[in-house]
Structure 1
Amino acid sequence: MGVKKLAIASIASILLVACVVAVAISFTSKSNEDNSSNNTSNNKVDSHISTSTKSVHAICQSTDYKQTCEKSLARANNTNDPKDLIKVEFSATINDLSSVIKNSKSLIQEASKDPRTKDALHTCEGLLDVAIDDLRRSFDDINMLDLTKLQDYTDDLKTWLSAAITYQETCLDAFENTTGETGEKMKKLLKNAGELTSNGLAMVSSFGSVLKNLNLKIPGVNRRLLNTHERMLQEVNSNGLKPNVVVALDGSGQYKSVNEALRAVPQKNTQKFVIFIKAGVYNEYVEIPRKVNNVVFIGEGPTKTKITGSKNFADGTGTFKTATVGVNGDNFMAKDIGFENTAGPIKHQAVALRVSGDMAIFHNCQIDGYQDTLYVHSYRQFFRDCTISGTIDFIFGDASAVFQNCKMIVRKPMAEQACMVTAQGRKDRRGVGAIVMQNCQVLAEQDFLTAQPPIKAYLGRPWKEFSRTIIMQSSIDGFIAPEGWSVWAGNFALDTLFYAEYQNRGAGSNTNNRVNWRGYQKNIAPQVAAGFAPGPFIRADEWVKLSGVPYESGLMKV
């Protein structure tokens, strides 16, 4: 292709993608003023309709479900305004999900004989409400689109749309091991909404990739200040934190339970709300509700202040609801505290901590369990100087989660079981989720190391088709199997996953005998590894850096 044609193609690509993210580009041209008034009117109408059709086709080219895309945008009433087109896509998805919730209520009666199925339906209703909420804030962001803050908008949109996909997938996961056909019916109900959400993510994702591939920059692009969160973190960034309330088992605080203290958080809270939790074992199930934001838990030490529970899958609770502590509000922070699920390996899935809130920070925390200990469910998360223990898939989910200077400790499972440190669950190839371990230690308890016969342990396995895990600049002990990674089932996801190791050390870091899957990357370039450091990957310079938590933005010196 000639230089001139390449330049024209590049410009066309930028115009197309800019259209996708609702940059105001007009495709229409003026008609000749010399034409007769009737011809002028007809030409304008024909041109408008033709342009609208071309705009729809152009937008849908970046998606995986083109027919679904064009069908949804056919409701745009012949508009060629890109903002209107993208809003139509989001509105169609919201309406479809609302319809799924309505239709799912009719399934409750047929599911009444199976408590697990009934529980799954109730779980789905809440999860899909959150998916709708993420789509609505994406819709609102399109309305406020500012070209000078374009990268900022696309980062947020991709995070929220990825989360909307995760919530729909979590709904379907809730039907695992249920009886009857309800799960299949829900899958069919969600098919169209899932395709629409994926299409929305594809539209937004294509803009950044074109800019990156062409090495172009938009003048004046600045990160949007996360004002509320920055204010909160600036206040938190001090050694002399003044708690809003104190929790103490002995009655020396305002409250004796964490749940009582949470009820004191103001509605629509925009300021930090620090709950100081004195040393003790708090046997309660804690859930920070959606939109209860800016909550800070401060304990007296990760082994001194502990919130504990024992809900588990074997006793009839769905995995999502087994969490001892569930974080659904944004801008949550925890320091010097422990989270625990004591159900044990025999009870299978039993979550100690589930994080489903955006921009969550955990510093010097201990998270203990066995199978499915830490559910990094969705959005952006940062863990520093934390200890996480477990057996099977004990760090799992589809958040953009970065672990820095943390310890992952493998425990002894049941007989004839193997252990996997991670099970990342990215469903869509454009999703932003990944588990990133930087300067961490992968260790094992003594009971694991002395077990006979020896137990196999792996760095991870692919929970979903586009599973993504990066372990870099970390210490891996020699108990990890030489092949490094385990299959989920047969050849599932082995070609589509992305697993990478970079600059690791220790007896278990040798990659000579690692798996030879297409998706496994034995040697990634330094610039690829740097892209998964917390600064660029989760935009941590804007929120983690201000928290006072020790923090490295990029790659470390090794």
Structure 2
Amino acid sequence: MGFPPQQKIFHLIIFFGYCFCLGRAIDCGGNHVTNIIVVDQQGRGAFKMIQHAIDSIVNNNNQWVKIHINPGKYVENIYIPNDKPCIILEGSDRITTIVSHGDRQATTTFVSNPPNVILSGITFENTFGSDGAAVAATISGDKSAIFNCGFLGYQDTLWDRTGRHYFKNCYIQGDVDFIFGEAQSFYEDCVINATQDISKFSGYITAQFRNSSNEPSGFVFRGGRIDGIGKVNLGRAWGPYSRVIFWETYLSSVVLPQGWDAWDYKGHENNFVYAEVDCTGPGSNTKGRVPWEKKPNEININDYSLSSFINEDGWLNNIPNIFL
């Protein structure tokens, strides 16, 4: 089953001082990049390590600064503090640009706390193994946009923690609760690869935390596909109002018939917003689903479009247009 909710938080929070400031009035100078810093392991750039490039950016920066990362495997823990917004981390592509770590349980490879961060063309991996939390990335800042990135781990691969986040054409791999958190996120055309060994127990893709019906958080997956080995549930509840929607997603046969699990929130099933809308593939047959999954006619799917769910104020229109 993995860590219970309280233990999951404890094992991760002790490693990070967290200061989140939602809604800071920063537009990063519109869609213009003012400075480019090159990172290259062979010394053909300003820095050899990604963290050193981040550290070189002035605190409370309010203009887009791009850190371009040349191909290589960068073995380091990366931390973007809350007072360094308006940063773009751009790899050459997610196959050749890899950030890797995993020397002990509950050490996150990559942490991003500030608002207005863009990630592109990078794979973040935690190689610790399957014996506990193996977080590849923690994303906490509002208005974070992630394009063509990979997230590789086992349990708790991607901590989609807080804020509004947009994931486009990403690859996310894990076995238990490997997309989890309290963020308000839209995943478009992403590939989810479930690797849970069914001989041990079934896996779970999502563990979304939402404590009340008034909270805007939730995960929406539109398009993309779920593949992998073993068997996996679409999600389990991490909070009494957990919310996850799969929309026009291809579900392979790795998806278990029941689909969802109430976990420690039995008795709150009618509060969950778990739904599948216009999905396809052998795993999309909802005949065996839990009875409390929402039917498509019980939700207004237009409320979960990209523009309605995370982009009502148009923040995605204000990022450098090379990403859209």
| TM-score, scaled to structure 1 | 0.53
Matched, 1:325 2:124: no
* Alignment partners' CA distance in 2, 1:343 and 1:119: 14
* Other-structure match for 1:473: 248
* Alignment partners' CA distance in 1, 2:13 and 2:58: 31
Secondary structure of the structure 1 residue equivalent to 2:239:
coil
Matched, 1:530 2:302: yes
After superposition, the Cα gap between the structure-2 partners of 1:250 and 1:364, relative to the gap in structure 1 and judged at 3 Å, is: same
Residue 301 of structure 1 deviates from its aligned partner by 0.6
* Other-structure match for 1:386: 170
* Other-structure match for 2:215: 431
Residue 492 of structure 1 deviates from its aligned partner by 5.2
Stretches of structure 2 that go unaligned for 5 or more consecutive residues are 1-7
Residue 243 of structure 1 deviates from its aligned partner by 5.4
| TM-score, scaled to structure 2 | 0.90
Partner AA of 2:295 in structure 1: K
- Structure 1: 4+ residue segments shifted above 6 A: 116-121
* Other-structure match for 2:91: 299
Matched, 1:337 2:98: no
Residue 235 of structure 1 deviates from its aligned partner by 1.6
* Alignment partners' CA distance in 1, 2:185 and 2:63: 24
After superposition, the Cα gap between the structure-2 partners of 1:420 and 1:289, relative to the gap in structure 1 and judged at 3 Å, is: same
Q: Root-mean-square deviation (CA), in Å?
A: 2.6
* Alignment partners' CA distance in 1, 2:168 and 2:122: 13
Q: What number of residue pairs does the alignment pair up?
A: 316
Secondary structure of the structure 1 residue equivalent to 2:145:
strand
Greater RCO (CA < 8 Å, at least 6 residues apart): 2
Partner AA of 1:542 in structure 2: G
Counterpart among 232, 236, 239 of residue 457 in structure 1:
232
After superposition, the Cα gap between the structure-2 partners of 1:398 and 1:122, relative to the gap in structure 1 and judged at 3 Å, is: closer
Partner AA of 1:536 in structure 2: S
Residue 543 of structure 1 deviates from its aligned partner by 2.2
Deviations 1:76-97 (A, max 9, x none): xxxxxxxxxxxxxxxxxxxxxx
* Alignment partners' CA distance in 2, 1:550 and 1:332: 12
Higher strand share: 2
Q: 1:139-538 residue pairs with structure 2 within 5 A?
A: 228-229=27-28, 231-232=29-30, 234-235=31-32, 244-313=36-105, 317=106, 322-346=107-131, 348-413=132-197, 415-444=199-228, 448=229, 455-489=230-264, 491=266, 493-517=268-292, 520-524=293-297, 528-538=300-310
After superposition, the Cα gap between the structure-2 partners of 1:359 and 1:311, relative to the gap in structure 1 and judged at 3 Å, is: farther
Secondary structure of the structure 2 residue equivalent to 1:461:
strand
* Alignment partners' CA distance in 1, 2:157 and 2:73: 18
Deviations 1:24-46 (A, max 9, x none): xxxxxxxxxxxxxxxxxxxxxxx
Residue 488 of structure 1 deviates from its aligned partner by 1.2
Q: Contact between 2:255 and 2:283, CA under 8 Å: does it hold in 1?
A: yes
Partner AA of 1:300 in structure 2: S
Residue 244 of structure 1 deviates from its aligned partner by 2.0
After superposition, the Cα gap between the structure-2 partners of 1:300 and 1:482, relative to the gap in structure 1 and judged at 3 Å, is: same
Secondary structure of the structure 2 residue equivalent to 1:334:
strand
Deviations 1:72-128 (A, max 9, x none): xxxxxxxxxxxxxxxxxxxxxxxxxxxxxxxxxxxxxxxxxxxx999888569x34x
Partner AA of 1:408 in structure 2: I
Secondary structure of the structure 1 residue equivalent to 2:308:
helix
* Alignment partners' CA distance in 1, 2:322 and 2:204: 28
Q: Contact between 2:238 and 2:265, CA under 8 Å: does it hold in 1?
A: no
Residue 541 of structure 1 deviates from its aligned partner by 6.6
Deviations 1:393-428 (A, max 9, x none): 110001001000110111144841211111101123
Deviates more, 1:479-488 or 1:401-410: 479-488
Partner AA of 1:244 in structure 2: I
After superposition, the Cα gap between the structure-2 partners of 1:459 and 1:529, relative to the gap in structure 1 and judged at 3 Å, is: same
Quick one: percent identity of the two aligned structures? 28
Partner AA of 2:27 in structure 1: T
* Alignment partners' CA distance in 1, 2:15 and 2:42: 35
* Alignment partners' CA distance in 1, 2:178 and 2:10: 27
